[in-house]
Structure 1
Amino acid sequence: MPDTPIPAAAGAPRAALERVDEWGLLRGLSFFAIVIQHSLGEYVYRADILYPDAAALALLYHLVRYGTLTFVFLAGAILFYRYGQSEKRYAPVLRKRIGDIYVPFAVWTLLYWISTKIASKQPLLQDGDLPILLRQFIAPTVGYHLWFVVMIFQFYLFFPLFRSSASRLGRWTGAGDTEKARFTRIGLLTLLLAAAYGWLMYLSYYRMPEWQTSGWWKTLLDYRTFEFPYYAFYFVLGGICGAHLRQWRTLVLKLLPWSTLASVAMYVWMTHDLLRSSGEQINLNYSTYLKPSSFLFVTAQIFMLYGWALLLQKHGGRLGRLLTLCGKYSFGAYLSHAMILTWISILTRHWLFPGWHVTAALLTALIVAPCALLLCAGLSRLPGGKWLTGGAGRNARSGRRNSRSAPARMPDL
Structure 2
Amino acid sequence: MKKRIDEVNILRAIACLAVVMVHISAIPVSTLQSDSIHMKIFSLLNRSVKFTTPTFIFLSGLTLFYSYKDKRLHYFSFLKKRLSITLIPYFVWTLIYYKYFIHEGYYVFSWSFLIENILLADMSYHLYFILTILQFYLLFGVFLYAFKKFPSHFVLGTLFVISLLTIKYVRFPYMDRFFARHVFFFGLGCYAAMNIDMLREKLLKYQYLITAGYIGISSYYGYQFYQYYGLGKPIKSFTIELTWTIFCFIAIMFYYVVAYHIANKQNSILNKTLKKVAKASYYVYLSHPLGIFLSEKFLTNAGMLSITRRFLLNVIIVYGTVVPLAILYTSLKGNLTQNYKSRKLKKTTLQADL
Identity %: 22
1:324 is displaced (CA, Å) by 1.4
Deviations 1:385-404 (A, max 9, x none): xxxxxxxx3477439989xx
- CA 1:78–1:251 in 2, change beyond 3 Å: closer, same or farther? same
Q: Which residue of structure 2 aligns with residue 309 of structure 1?
A: 259
Q: Which residue of structure 1 aligns with residue 279 of structure 2?
A: 328
1:142 is the counterpart of 2:123: yes
For 2:338, give the aligned amino acid.
S
1:297 is displaced (CA, Å) by 0.5
SS for the counterpart of 1:87 is: coil
- CA 1:334–1:102 in 2, change beyond 3 Å: closer, same or farther? same
8 Å CA contact 1:336–1:372 kept in 2: the answer is yes
- Residue among 155, 160, 165 paired with 1:194: 160
Q: Which residue of structure 2 aligns with residue 378 of structure 1?
A: 328
1:203 is displaced (CA, Å) by 3.1
Which deviates the most, 39-48 or 248-257? 39-48
1:162 is the counterpart of 2:143: yes
Q: Which residue of structure 1 aligns with residue 202 of structure 2?
A: 251
1:348 is displaced (CA, Å) by 2.5
- CA 1:376–1:228 in 2, change beyond 3 Å: closer, same or farther? same
1:115 is the counterpart of 2:100: yes
- CA 1:63–1:37 in 2, change beyond 3 Å: closer, same or farther? same
Instruction: Provide the C-alpha distance between the structure 2 equivalents of 1:75 and 1:43, rounded to a whole number of angstroms.
Output: 31
SS for the counterpart of 2:3 is: strand
Q: Which residue of structure 2 aligns with residue 215 of structure 1?
A: none
8 Å CA contact 1:97–1:156 kept in 2: the answer is yes
8 Å CA contact 1:31–1:327 kept in 2: the answer is yes
Map of 1:256-295 to 2, 5 A cutoff? Answer: 256-280=207-231, 291-295=241-245
Map of 1:154-233 to 2, 5 A cutoff? Answer: 154-169=135-150, 173=151, 186-187=152-153, 189-191=155-157, 193-204=159-170, 208=171, 221-233=172-184
For 1:31, give the aligned amino acid.
C
1:149 is displaced (CA, Å) by 1.0
1:151 is displaced (CA, Å) by 0.9
8 Å CA contact 2:65–2:144 kept in 1: the answer is yes
1:291 is displaced (CA, Å) by 0.6
Q: Which residue of structure 2 aligns with residue 353 of structure 1?
A: 305
For 1:161, give the aligned amino acid.
V
- CA 1:27–1:395 in 2, change beyond 3 Å: closer, same or farther? farther
Instruction: Provide the C-alpha distance between the structure 2 equivalents of 1:226 and 1:189, rounded to a whole number of angstroms.
Output: 22
1:132 is the counterpart of 2:72: no
For 1:353, give the aligned amino acid.
L
Instruction: Provide the C-alpha distance between the structure 2 equivalents of 1:300 and 1:82, rounded to a whole number of angstroms.
Output: 25
TM-score under structure 2 length normalisation:
0.86
For 1:311, give the aligned amino acid.
H
1:75 is the counterpart of 2:60: yes
- CA 1:130–1:237 in 2, change beyond 3 Å: closer, same or farther? same
- CA 1:85–1:139 in 2, change beyond 3 Å: closer, same or farther? same
Instruction: Provide the C-alpha distance between the structure 2 equivalents of 1:290 and 1:44, rounded to a whole number of angstroms.
Output: 17
Instruction: Provide the C-alpha distance between the structure 2 equivalents of 1:148 and 1:21, rounded to a whole number of angstroms.
Output: 24
Q: Which residue of structure 2 aligns with residue 212 of structure 1?
A: none
Deviations 1:271-295 (A, max 9, x none): 221122124479xx99999811100
SS for the counterpart of 1:70 is: helix
Instruction: Provide the C-alpha distance between the structure 2 equivalents of 1:151 and 1:164, rounded to a whole number of angstroms.
Output: 20
TM-score under structure 1 length normalisation:
0.74
8 Å CA contact 2:73–2:141 kept in 1: the answer is no
Which deviates the most, 67-76 or 38-47? 38-47
1:398 is the counterpart of 2:338: yes
1:30 is displaced (CA, Å) by 0.5
1:366 is displaced (CA, Å) by 3.0
Q: Which residue of structure 2 aligns with residue 176 of structure 1?
A: none
8 Å CA contact 1:380–1:396 kept in 2: the answer is no
Q: Which residue of structure 1 aligns with residue 316 of structure 2?
A: 366
**Structure 2, unaligned stretches of length 5 or more?**
343-354
Which deviates the most, 45-54 or 72-81? 45-54
Instruction: Provide the C-alpha distance between the structure 1 equivalents of 2:196 and 2:11, rounded to a whole number of angstroms.
Output: 15
**Structure 1, unaligned stretches of length 5 or more?**
1-15, 174-185, 209-220, 383-392, 403-413
Q: Aligned-residue CA RMSD in angstroms?
A: 3.0
SS for the counterpart of 1:144 is: coil
